[in-house]
Chain A
């Protein structure tokens, strides 16, 4: 289904919200770091770092790729695993 407006118009509409959210994100990350260095060793910090790289990438489907970064992997053998646990 088509988006209403061209890319420039959509960017005009979204720019202030993107800016506000980036500032919120930056502030939240600063807040965590101000509380101490421990977060660097937390695996969630790596998820955040990878998410930021995904945001900065040129490919589309950034949201889907970030969702997968925060997801447990799917095991196609789950039925065998459940059966063997019986």
Chain B
């Protein structure tokens, strides 16, 4: 089955992973900007990173027939440094018209601090000013519930925000309901230990239905599995779910959400030259 991984950090993965993804049916990936595992010291470091995201990765992916899309921001972890974050946010408009840029993301919270919230809200303002879609990172582990509720407080209080153009990612059993009930898209991240397993993702599909839900691998430099979406497809099949429901989650939903971005110039595999 053709599928789209809506959240994967390919800069941290090898070219061999692109080949494996292609073999598994991956036709497109979307890569949010994130923390590199260390704090960058200058805005020039982010210029280099944004160049890699908007120029280099798309070529590497294309070598395996995979379309690469991306999102730009200062990530939530480095957002603790507000002055550097503001410098980074000031250069983001230079890249928003590059091919394949889908919006601002992944913004959000990490430890739910005041500085992180300041930078999150300034990112939201930037997205509104530039009419970009938003991809949101929700915190890890014990911080997730509190941080998700805080993020929803901000978004739901702002009548300018089109909720159908916002994806709240890394939802789990205790955060999925308020996200969907508020009208946002929700992403489930399939991680070996810290987030959601394929079977638990299937459980949430069974409870909430497939509307406005996506699954992703969030494959990065840490423990993660870039082929987690095919694992989800297999789990859905083993539990007897119809192919059209699976396709809705792993292909049609990403197309529908990303299709609201002006730079989502997707070519289905069936019509590619």
Q: Which of A24-32, A33-41, A49-57, A64-72 contacts B (4 or more CB under 8 A)?
A: A64-72
Contacts of B172 in A (CB 8 A): 67
Q: Which of B13-21, B26-34, B56-64, B139-147 contacts A (4 or more CB under 8 A)?
A: B139-147
Are A3 and B206 touching (Cβ within 8 A)? yes
Are B245 and A1 touching (Cβ within 8 A)? yes
Are A64 and B173 touching (Cβ within 8 A)? yes
Contacts of B173 in A (CB 8 A): 61, 63-64, 67
Are B144 and A63 touching (Cβ within 8 A)? no
CA–CA, A79 and B149, complex, Å? 12
Chain A 1-20 interface mask (CB, 8 Å, partner B; 1/0): 11111000000000000000
Contacts of B205 in A (CB 8 A): 1
Contacts of B114 in A (CB 8 A): 82, 85
Contacts of B203 in A (CB 8 A): 63
Are B239 and A71 touching (Cβ within 8 A)? no
Are B240 and A4 touching (Cβ within 8 A)? yes
Are A72 and B142 touching (Cβ within 8 A)? yes
Are B146 and A3 touching (Cβ within 8 A)? no
Min CB distance B163 to A, Å, is: 20
CA–CA, A3 and B205, complex, Å? 10
Contacts of A2 in B (CB 8 A): 206
Are B142 and A71 touching (Cβ within 8 A)? yes
Min CB distance B175 to A, Å, is: 8
The total of interchain contacts (Cβ-Cβ below 8 angstroms) comes to 53
State how many residues of chain B have any CB contact under 8 Å with chain A. Answer: 26
Task: Specify the main secondary structure of chain A where it touches its partner.
Answer: loop
Are B146 and A67 touching (Cβ within 8 A)? no
Are A75 and B146 touching (Cβ within 8 A)? yes
Are A64 and B146 touching (Cβ within 8 A)? no
Query: Which chain B residues (130-162) contact chain A, with CB distance < 8 Å?
Result: 141-146, 149-150, 153
Are A64 and B174 touching (Cβ within 8 A)? yes
Given contacts A79-B153, A85-B114, contact A70 B141 (CB under 8 A): yes
Min CB distance B237 to A, Å, is: 10
B204: nearest chain-A partner, CB-CB: A63
Min CB distance B79 to A, Å, is: 14
**B200 located at the interface, meaning its Cβ lies under 8 Å from any Cβ of chain A in the complex:** yes
Min CB distance A26 to B, Å, is: 19
**B45 located at the interface, meaning its Cβ lies under 8 Å from any Cβ of chain A in the complex:** no
CA–CA, A73 and B112, complex, Å? 12
CA–CA, A55 and B249, complex, Å? 29
Min CB distance B195 to A, Å, is: 11
Are B206 and A1 touching (Cβ within 8 A)? yes
A47: nearest chain-B partner, CB-CB: B142
Contacts of B141 in A (CB 8 A): 70
Given contacts A4-B239, A67-B174, contact A82 B117 (CB under 8 A): yes
Q: List 15 A-B contacts (CB under 8 A).
A: A1-B241, A2-B206, A3-B206, A3-B239, A67-B145, A70-B141, A71-B143, A71-B146, A72-B146, A74-B145, A74-B146, A76-B153, A78-B112, A82-B114, A82-B117
Contacts A4-B240, A64-B173 known; 14 new A-B pairs at CB < 8 A: A1-B205, A1-B209, A1-B210, A2-B206, A3-B206, A3-B239, A63-B203, A67-B145, A71-B145, A71-B174, A72-B112, A72-B143, A72-B145, A82-B117
